[in-house]
Amino acid sequence: MLLRRKFLQQSLLGSLGVLIGKEQLRASPVGGKLGKASGPVVISTWAPNAKANAAAWQVLAANGRALDALEKGIHVTEADPTDQSVGYGGLPDRDGKVTVDSCVMDEWGNCGAVMCLEHILHPVSVARLVMERTPHVQLVGEGALKFALEQGFSKTNLLTPEAEKAWRNWLKTSRYDPMITVEHLEERNKKNKKKPGQQHDHDTIGMLALDSNGNLSGACSTSGMAFKMNGRVGDSPIIGAGLFVDNEVGAATATGVGEEIVRICGSHTIVEMMRAGHSPEEACKKAVERIVKRNGLQKAKEIQAGFIAINKQGEVGAYSLIDGFNYAVHTESGPYTKNAKFLI
């Protein structure tokens, strides 16, 4: 009898132990404590997204979760009509429709994405709900819209008068130029020496954060390449291409010509490079080198691709194919922006 009671007690404790073990795992997915970083860090593609970082920082500074911080931050850019590559104000496809792509990935390796979604102001939040409330990772087009409306999102007209004007202007030539929202370097440098990434000239927001619990997450949101074919999806909502997070190692995200980034599985490549011991900057450079290798130097000069990365220690880095890519960082010492190094 005594033996039996002891056995029952032990097995109860045993299963409690397993439960406690799982609970601990939930509270601190991998790693836990911060490494070299003195506090949370958030990094975004493109300097003007410092405003998104500032919103994210409020959550991070209050010891909030990285994913919550990123969602808040990305909302700022999605609602900004002057950003012609993200959400409201984004340039439409060749049929005049603004279609948006977004994805999120958290510290557990959970992820969610929406692609070719119309009429929704905050696709990043729909992507998060795909992750949290469905058994799926990706929803596209009509199905994604239906899901968003079911979840309580309302329809918004994302096409601003300025974006419509730009589209009508484009119709005169109907020449698809993948650089249109990214860089017109030569033209621009000749005209006014303006570098892309300045106030009225910014692109896809990819955003990564390390929170005060030492956990990493990422999010990305875009209206994609201007005047793309209807139905076209780039890298931004594709896990592994436009975004990848491995809470043991680091996270990466991308901006630029999505087709090229998908072809080399850019963000996943960068995380694997960091796993192999490269710094975030070196890892981004390695991904850029793959694009050059695949295309050859001459063709690569016509392409822009920019990557940012963060490792588990909170070190950040970036690299782009050609000149003009910049990024914004916010740490406990404050915000800063930086021009990325470029390869060719």
Which residues are known catalytic residues?
A: 204
Which residue from 236, 267, 269, 311 is in contact with ligand SD4, where contact means CB under 6 A?
236
CA dihedral for 89, 91, 95, 96, sign (positive or negative): positive
Closest by CA position to 73, among listed 168, 208, 186, 200: 208
CA 325 to CA 253: how far, in whole Å?
13
CA 316 to CA 310: how far, in whole Å?
4
Residue nearest to ligand SD4 (CB): 258
Which residue from 256, 266, 317, 324 is in contact with ligand SD4, where contact means CB under 6 A?
256
Reading the block at residue 205, the tokens are 């927001």
Stretch touching ligand SD4 by CB under 6 A, among 12-20, 104-112, 222-230, 280-288: 222-230
CA 330 to CA 336: how far, in whole Å?
6
CB of 110: closest distance to ligand SD4 in angstroms? 22
- Whether the CB-CB separation of 306 and 317 falls below 8 Å is answered with no
CB of 69: closest distance to ligand SD4 in angstroms? 21
CB of 221: closest distance to ligand SD4 in angstroms? 10
Which residue from 225, 239, 271, 284 is in contact with ligand SD4, where contact means CB under 6 A?
225
* SS3 category, 311: strand
Q: Where are the beta strands (DSSP E) in 91-229?
A: 99-105, 111-118, 138-140, 205-210, 216-222
Site membership for ligand SD4, residue 255 (CB under 6 A): yes
Residue with smaller CB distance to ligand SD4, 49 or 53: 49
* SS3 category, 307: strand
CA dihedral for 344, 185, 178, 308, sign (positive or negative): positive
Contact pattern from residue 259 through residue 298 relative to ligand SD4, giving x for each residue in contact according to CB under 6 A and a dash for the rest: ----------------------------------------
Stretch touching ligand SD4 by CB under 6 A, among 51-59, 128-136, 140-148, 233-241: 233-241
Q: How far is CA 313 from the centre of its chain?
A: 19
Query: Restricting to residues 57-96, which ones interact with ligand SD4 according to CB under 6 A?
Result: 85
By the criterion CB under 6 A, which residues form the site for ligand SD4? 85, 181-182, 203-204, 222, 224-225, 234-236, 255-258
